[in-house]
Amino acid sequence: MSERFDIVFYGILQPGTDRKAAQAAMAKLFKTTPEKVKSYFSGQRRVIKSQVDDLTAEKYRLTLERIGLTIKLETTDSLPPATTGSTRVGQGPPETEIDTGDISMAEVGANVIEHPQPVTPAPIGDISNISLAEVGAHVIEHPQPMTPVLIGDISDISLAEVGAHVIEHPQPVTAAPILDTSDISIADIGADLLEHPPEKKAASLPDISRLTLVKDH
């Protein structure tokens, strides 16, 4: 049996493709509604057409990628032929199949984007004096000379064995002495850690007994 393919879409679009425009284009391509193809853009594995030969698979891929979809062709030569007019979702059981019997391909060359955005070409200045250099030519007019760094005789240099000390005279590291901490303990939570805290004096208030409130007229 010849090799068969699933035409798979993972919801990935071509760079610069608008999602809504791609959904509308796909709906027009398969002569259905954008709502019916919206689930194909969820990011999960969606089989648009299953068990097709290589020529049909390539035709679908080119057509679908022309409207902005990124299509993957997965071999299914070990699977039985799919039922005509159905599309499998992932590798699930039969109840996950989506009926696509009313879907057909638009004619070759049909405009599948209903309202394409006009693309205004960017203006290009006068390039009549520009030409391509020959193959292998130096395209930098005044390249800076590169002087190679001289390497001395390294014939007497070798790699030390794994785990060897590569520092000939390492400085000894002396651990800091730890004093006797047997009489040190942690205070209780909320304890005052200052043995003789300074007395806090209350702020003095001025005599306000002669002050009265005046009613605003």
209 in a structural domain: no
Residue 94: which domain range? 5-99
Domain count along the chain: 1
161 in a structural domain: no
DSSP single-letter state for residue 89: -
124 in a structural domain: no
CB 40 within 8 A of CB 7: no
Structure pTM?
A: 0.39
Pairing outcome for strands 86-87 and 98-99: antiparallel
DSSP single-letter state for residue 118: P
68 in a structural domain: yes
Q: What is the rounded distance in angstroms from the CA atom of residue 45 to the CA atom of residue 61? A: 15
What mean pLDDT is predicted for residues 14-25? 91
Per-residue confidence (pLDDT) for residue 89, from 0 to 100: 37
Continuous segment of H or E residues that includes residue 66: helix 54-66
CB 1 within 8 A of CB 79: no
Q: Which residues pair with 25 in a beta bridge?
A: none
52 in a structural domain: yes
Per-residue confidence (pLDDT) for residue 77, from 0 to 100: 59
What mean pLDDT is predicted for residues 116-128? 78
54 in a structural domain: yes
118 in a structural domain: no
Q: What is the rounded distance in angstroms from the CA atom of residue 33 to the CA atom of residue 43? A: 19
CA distances to 141, 148, 164 from 144, in Å: 10, 13, 43
Per-residue confidence (pLDDT) for residue 125, from 0 to 100: 82
Does residue 196 register a pLDDT over 90? Answer: no
- CA end-to-end span of the chain: 106
73 in a structural domain: yes
